[in-house]
């Protein structure tokens, strides 16, 4: 299923192999992507305002994915955010979903779950 969209998906993960794996999947789907090794790097980039979706790791140095989502909201951005983590925490998950993230995936996750979440983020009218 190719998304065939001009939407920009920003991928933020301090783990290069994870970041590149997600980037490869998004490229296969036909999505434009930018990758960042940290939330700070992403926030300093011109791609913040053009991002249609953010996929970010929860546990990162300096700023977590949850903190990034909250910062974006405070700055006035309503970018659909997908959180991924190797360290699931039900309390953090519930709080993140309450804060408005669209999905909280636990590593390793299956590609179909991520694809479904990205589709929901980029095409909310579909489902």
Q: Does residue 1 form part of some domain?
A: no
Q: Does residue 53 form part of some domain?
A: yes
Q: What is the mean pLDDT of residues 67-91?
A: 94
Q: What is the mean pLDDT of residues 25-40?
A: 94
Q: At what angle do helices 16-29 and 111-122 cross, to 10 degrees?
A: 60
Q: Does residue 28 form part of some domain?
A: yes
Number of structural domains found in the chain? 1
Q: Does residue 2 form part of some domain?
A: no
Q: Can you give the residue range of the structural domain that contains 67?
A: 8-122
For the domain that residue 54 is a member of, what is the CATH number?
Answer: 3.40.50.2300
Cα–Cα distance between 107 and 99 in angstroms, integer?
Answer: 21
Q: Does residue 74 form part of some domain?
A: yes
Where does 8-73 show beta strands of DSSP type E?
8-12, 32-36, 51-57
Q: Does residue 60 form part of some domain?
A: yes
Q: Does residue 116 form part of some domain?
A: yes
* DSSP classification of residue 121: H
Q: Does residue 127 form part of some domain?
A: no
* DSSP classification of residue 54: E
The vertex-42 CA angle with 82 and 61, nearest 5°, equals 80
Tell the burial category of 44 from Cβ atoms under 10 Å away from its Cβ (0-12, 13-18, 19+): exposed
Residue 1: band (very low, low, confident or very high) from pLDDT cuts 50, 70, 90: very low
Asked if residue 58 has pLDDT above 90, the reply is yes
* pLDDT tens digits for range 105-126: 998 899 999 999 999 998 876 6
């Amino acid at each position: 299923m190719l998304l065939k969209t001009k939407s920009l998906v920003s991928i933020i993960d301090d783990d290069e192999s994870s970041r590149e794996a997600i980037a490869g999947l998004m490229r296969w789907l036909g999505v434009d992507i930018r990758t960042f090794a940290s939330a700070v790097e992403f926030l300093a980039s011109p791609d913040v305002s053009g991002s249609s979706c953010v996929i970010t790791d929860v546990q990162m140095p300096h700023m977590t994915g949850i903190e990034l989502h909250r910062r974006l909201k405070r700055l006035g951005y309503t970018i659909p955010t997908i959180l991924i983590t190797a360290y699931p925490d039900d309390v953090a998950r519930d709080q993140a979903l309450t804060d408005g993230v669209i999905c909280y995936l636990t590593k390793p996750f299956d590609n179909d779950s991520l694809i479904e979440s990205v589709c929901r983020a980029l095409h909310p009218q579909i489902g």
